[in-house]
Structure 1
Amino acid sequence: MLFIFIHSFKRMKLSGKMITFIISTAIFIGLLIWLPEDIPWSAKATISIMIYGILLWAFESLPLGMTSVFMMILLLFLHAVPIDVALSGFGSPAVFLIVAGMMIAKGVNETLLMNRITYMLFAKWGSSAKGIFIGVFLLMQLQAFFIPATAVRSSLIVPVVLSVLQSVGAKKGSNFSKLMLVGTAYAGNISGTAILTAAIGNILTIEILQLYVGKSLSYLDWFVYAFPVWILLIVIIPYIVWKCFPPEDFSFHILHKQMKQKKEDLGGLSNSELKCIIILSITVLLWMTQPIHGYHPTVPALMAVVLMALPRIGFVKWKKIVSVNFDLVLLIGATLSLGFALIDSGAIELLEELITSENLINIFANPWLAILMVILISQIYHLGVTNVSTAVVTLLPVLISLSLQAGIDPVVVSFTSAITILFGYLLIVETMPNVVVHGTGMINQRDFYLPGLLSTLASTLITLFVAFTWWRWLGFWP
């Protein structure tokens, strides 16, 4: 009998994810019970569900998509908000922009275009570790113009990096492996800085600004204000990673020769590649000229998807590009729905009263301190709320409220917070590029600490420098 009991106990041994799920659930129930009785039920339920969702998304106790559906069920089951509010996030243009972005990536991947660009870069710079490292870093930045979502870009480039490591015989634990993989993660993180459509956090920021203050930034506005930050990061972040992981002396002769041969074997541009380049160029042109025609970035993205699959005009079958990562779609829709629920239930007003204070408002009233505070708050908050989408949707409303009370521009505050949240250098779970490269099994969490600390400091100083020079010259910041 004792043997059976012990055997059963072993079989029931709780996994780490189950433990975090139980703890998160206990916190959720505790909030429902112990939040003050004078708080209206809808606000109390919404706040509890939001914190529950943050915990589940942060610890990934459940798959991201499952947590997203679970949060919507709770909003409805507990009568926190009406059904049209609970599902309203899925009517947002941001969801369709992400869907279109993933479909565009599928279409591009059906051609040899990315292979051709990769072989061209490696054929030119692939004779040394530095050349390959810089080539991969720049390739990730180039992808940002055409492929929305850092997760998609990282998933496309990591197999290339692994192939390089295998070709030169770099093993797990080698400096060159760490250099290439950590560098790829950081390249993915900063690749969305200046391109509005290149990161989910950027897209959500535009939606939140429109929702809360009725203002927004165009694709061109975002690019102009963030461009100096992006350029400085492209120069400084690779330098930091290189200094942290000086590579061993591998021979790149064979790899360089292979890349040249593969480039030559591809021959001239195929018909499908030419069509892909034309469609992508038209899409980017429409994004850049948004202030002229007024179309939301989702419109050109959806148009690109249709053109890619349109008979005779396109180059890929619809069935090839229609399969997307539905977990990501559910995540974006659910986080936006939570944002709408916070407003509808009155929970956002309670959270603002809880978080804001007279001292904090006085600090925000000083433009020189406001940007620094926004950066520090965003960095610290993102360490706890690791999911970028959740961090943006839950933090920006509070920062918008603070900025309005302090009499400063909420657009600048939101923009600063959004790009800061992209720069998740320290923890694996902070960004999807970090998660993707860690999933290779070639690097560990400790490999992120030193370059992460230095990169965080560098990003902070760069953003402050640009804010008090470039932004002031353009009249974006007082």
Structure 2
Amino acid sequence: MSLLAAARGLPGTTLQRIGLTLAVLVPVAVLIADLPGLEPPAQRMLAVFSVAVILWVTEAIPLVATAVLVIFLQVLLISDEALVGFGDTAFEAPTAASIYATLAHPVIILFLGGFLLADGAAKYRLDRNLTAVMLRPFRGSLRLTVFGLMIITAVLSAFMSNTATTATMLAVLIPVLAVSPSPTARAGLALSIPVAATVGGLLTPVSSPPNAIAVGTLADQGIQITFVDWLLATGPLVLVLLAVAWAVLAVRYLDRGVAVDIDVHVDLDTRPRAVLFYVVAAVTVLLWLTEAAHGIPAATVAFLPVTVLLATSVMTGEDLRRLQWPVLWLVAGGIALGSGMAATGLDEWMIGLVDWAVMPGLAVTLGLLALALLLGTLISNSATANLLIPLAPGLAVTVGTDSVILAVGLAVVCGLGMALPVSTPPNAIAYATGELRTKDMAVIGLVVGAVGLVLVAFVMPTWWSLMGLT
């Protein structure tokens, strides 16, 4: 019986079953093939890379499972504890401990602190109360209210997962959707939240996995991007994209003169534990924003709330168990993949397959960004970032582009893939309200994505150079 025939008996879609089969056959073929110019360590890493590509694209197994598999295969194939050694080659194998250490990479610690703060904000109703307070100036017309909702959602998404932010904001909107007489207005309200959450997810290193993957990849190249660096780099872009998204929504869905009534009642939790959480959260954000002044790395700052909140029982072990560990490990898998490719020289070999010298640098950049937007729309943007961003440093050198510009640009564009209900969790949550059609998401997703791509390719590099990011 062939492997493909055997795979038909496995659960999942046809694409997933084909993915499982290819994930076995392709790496075996890579390992036994005679590939010119490819040294044994890099050939083994290419086998790992092929597994990652196939499984992340087809989602034959959960994305996080693929990330963990990438780390395990690197230990088995390219580490100092590899099942088969490298003989007399000059390759200096990374230690197994260093590969495992990607699960505790500083970027992972940064995300851990961010996730715990986000969960604490929900536990002590800080997110709902902040939303109520910030919405007060935007009551009145429907267009003004949607503008306020989008600004607030984007701000919350900068420090919380965009999935949690979307769930919180839609909970605020559900009563409004239930009584709104206009289906068009309901669609505009429901659509504003996932779009703003996704755009807001570009704003800080802790707001989305692609951002963290870019920061981690550049850190492994000795390039440090601080919390404020990223905030300043993406802030203007986020503002422009929010304005574009709001304009599209206003024209298509939001009639002038229509009013909407949203509950802005504040019910602040004043128990001592809640107050301590508010103080710790405020101090953490303040330290992130003033990193240049005190010099404490953002990851170290992120470990402050983890330590203090657990030590004081403001957050408990049960809260810790509920964190988004699959996302953390998915980011770790991407960082490990990039490190393995750099350590074995696979990135240089792959880049050398194409004669980039005959291609204009701008054409290369546009092609990569377009690919990132397409893949980010069709598959997980985290998986897309894991596949493309590790290539950025080597490719940037080859085509004469700054590695920071390319890595940050890819992270941003990966995060803008939101034209389908399945593109992002926020889209899926909003689609589940029953107020949206796929066409609604496709139109605004394509418009915002295209505008973002053009800005990242032609405008933002100038801003990043002026602010000294490159």
TM-score, normalised by the number of residues in structure 2: 0.82
Asked if structure 1 preserves the Cα contact closer than 8 Å seen for 2:227 and 2:298, the reply is: yes
Q: Unaligned regions of 5+ residues in structure 1, if any?
A: 1-11
Residues 193-212 of structure 1 deviation map (CA, whole Å, 9 limit, x = unaligned):
3323222222221110121x
Which residue in 1 is equivalent to 2:352?
353
| Deviation at residue 342 of structure 1 after TM alignment | 2.2
**Equivalent position amino acid for 1:306 in 2:** T
Q: For the residues of structure 1 that align with 2:404 and 2:136, how far apart are their CA atoms?
A: 43
SS of residue matched to 1:344: helix
SS of residue matched to 2:459: helix
Call closer, same or farther: CA 1:247–1:354 in 2, change over 3 Å: farther
Q: For the residues of structure 1 that align with 2:296 and 2:27, how far apart are their CA atoms?
A: 43
List aligned pairs for 1:30-179, cutoff 5 A. Answer: 30-35=25-30, 36-38=33-35, 39-40=38-39, 42-76=41-75, 79-81=77-79, 82=82, 83-84=96-97, 86-147=99-160, 149-168=161-180, 174-179=183-188
Which residue in 2 is equivalent to 1:8?
none
Which residue in 2 is equivalent to 1:245?
253
| Deviation at residue 476 of structure 1 after TM alignment | 5.2
SS of residue matched to 2:417: coil
1:232 to 2:240 alignment: yes
| Deviation at residue 395 of structure 1 after TM alignment | 1.3
SS of residue matched to 2:61: coil
Call closer, same or farther: CA 1:356–1:103 in 2, change over 3 Å: farther
1:220 to 2:217 alignment: no
Asked if structure 2 preserves the Cα contact closer than 8 Å seen for 1:86 and 1:338, the reply is: no
Q: For the residues of structure 1 that align with 2:269 and 2:421, how far apart are their CA atoms?
A: 40
Of the candidates 185, 192, 195, which is equivalent to residue 201 of structure 2? 192
Q: For the residues of structure 1 that align with 2:61 and 2:188, how far apart are their CA atoms?
A: 31
Q: For the residues of structure 2 that align with 1:405 and 1:57, how far apart are their CA atoms?
A: 27
Which residue in 2 is equivalent to 1:6?
none
Q: For the residues of structure 2 that align with 1:267 and 1:294, how far apart are their CA atoms?
A: 34
Which residue in 2 is equivalent to 1:3?
none
Residues 5-45 of structure 1 deviation map (CA, whole Å, 9 limit, x = unaligned):
xxxxxxx9876x34222211232333234443244555344
List aligned pairs for 1:242-281, cutoff 5 A. Answer: 242-246=250-254, 252=260, 255-256=261-262, 259-260=263-264, 262-263=265-266, 266=267, 272=273, 274-281=275-282
**Equivalent position amino acid for 1:30 in 2:** L
Call closer, same or farther: CA 1:37–1:28 in 2, change over 3 Å: farther
Asked if structure 2 preserves the Cα contact closer than 8 Å seen for 1:129 and 1:247, the reply is: yes
Which residue in 1 is equivalent to 2:290?
289
Q: Larger deviation: 48-57 or 406-415?
A: 48-57
SS of residue matched to 1:216: coil
SS of residue matched to 2:436: coil
Asked if structure 2 preserves the Cα contact closer than 8 Å seen for 1:89 and 1:337, the reply is: yes
**Equivalent position amino acid for 2:370 in 1:** L
Q: Unaligned regions of 5+ residues in structure 2, if any?
A: 1-7, 83-95
Q: For the residues of structure 2 that align with 1:13 and 1:181, how far apart are their CA atoms?
A: 40
Q: Larger deviation: 329-338 or 122-131?
A: 122-131
SS of residue matched to 1:389: helix
Q: For the residues of structure 1 that align with 2:25 and 2:102, how far apart are their CA atoms?
A: 27
**Equivalent position amino acid for 2:391 in 1:** V
TM-score, normalised by the number of residues in structure 1: 0.81
Identity %: 17
1:202 to 2:211 alignment: yes
Of the candidates 391, 396, 409, which is equivalent to residue 402 of structure 2? 409
Call closer, same or farther: CA 1:433–1:54 in 2, change over 3 Å: farther
Asked if structure 1 preserves the Cα contact closer than 8 Å seen for 2:422 and 2:428, the reply is: yes
Q: For the residues of structure 2 that align with 1:49 and 1:116, how far apart are their CA atoms?
A: 47
Asked if structure 1 preserves the Cα contact closer than 8 Å seen for 2:10 and 2:17, the reply is: no
| Deviation at residue 236 of structure 1 after TM alignment | 1.5
Which residue in 1 is equivalent to 2:93?
none
Of the candidates 360, 364, 369, which is equivalent to residue 375 of structure 1? 369
Asked if structure 2 preserves the Cα contact closer than 8 Å seen for 1:168 and 1:250, the reply is: no
Q: How many residues align?
A: 444
Asked if structure 2 preserves the Cα contact closer than 8 Å seen for 1:220 and 1:288, the reply is: yes
Asked if structure 1 preserves the Cα contact closer than 8 Å seen for 2:129 and 2:268, the reply is: no
**Equivalent position amino acid for 1:91 in 2:** A
SS of residue matched to 2:322: coil
**Equivalent position amino acid for 1:95 in 2:** I
| Deviation at residue 355 of structure 1 after TM alignment | 4.6
| Deviation at residue 269 of structure 1 after TM alignment | 6.0
SS of residue matched to 2:27: helix
Q: For the residues of structure 2 that align with 1:205 and 1:398, how far apart are their CA atoms?
A: 11
Q: For the residues of structure 1 that align with 2:273 and 2:355, how far apart are their CA atoms?
A: 55
Q: For the residues of structure 2 that align with 1:409 and 1:383, how far apart are their CA atoms?
A: 26
| Deviation at residue 85 of structure 1 after TM alignment | 5.3
Residues 212-246 of structure 1 deviation map (CA, whole Å, 9 limit, x = unaligned):
x3112212222222222122122112212333334
SS of residue matched to 2:225: coil
| Deviation at residue 192 of structure 1 after TM alignment | 2.6
Q: For the residues of structure 2 that align with 1:150 and 1:448, how far apart are their CA atoms?
A: 16
Q: For the residues of structure 2 that align with 1:303 and 1:268, how far apart are their CA atoms?
A: 22
SS of residue matched to 2:332: helix
List aligned pairs for 1:298-337, cutoff 5 A. Answer: 298-311=299-312, 315-337=314-336
Q: For the residues of structure 1 that align with 2:74 and 2:175, how far apart are their CA atoms?
A: 46
| Deviation at residue 86 of structure 1 after TM alignment | 4.7
**Equivalent position amino acid for 1:46 in 2:** M
Of the candidates 18, 30, 39, which is equivalent to residue 23 of structure 1? 18
Asked if structure 2 preserves the Cα contact closer than 8 Å seen for 1:85 and 1:337, the reply is: no
| Deviation at residue 413 of structure 1 after TM alignment | 1.9
Which residue in 2 is equivalent to 1:9?
none
**Equivalent position amino acid for 1:21 in 2:** Q
SS of residue matched to 1:103: helix
**Equivalent position amino acid for 1:205 in 2:** A
| Deviation at residue 329 of structure 1 after TM alignment | 2.4
1:339 to 2:338 alignment: yes
Of the candidates 446, 463, 472, which is equivalent to residue 456 of structure 2? 463
Q: For the residues of structure 1 that align with 2:420 and 2:269, how far apart are their CA atoms?
A: 43
SS of residue matched to 2:232: helix
SS of residue matched to 2:64: helix
Q: For the residues of structure 2 that align with 1:295 and 1:356, how far apart are their CA atoms?
A: 43
Asked if structure 2 preserves the Cα contact closer than 8 Å seen for 1:335 and 1:393, the reply is: yes
Residues 335-367 of structure 1 deviation map (CA, whole Å, 9 limit, x = unaligned):
22222232334332332223553223xx12x6x
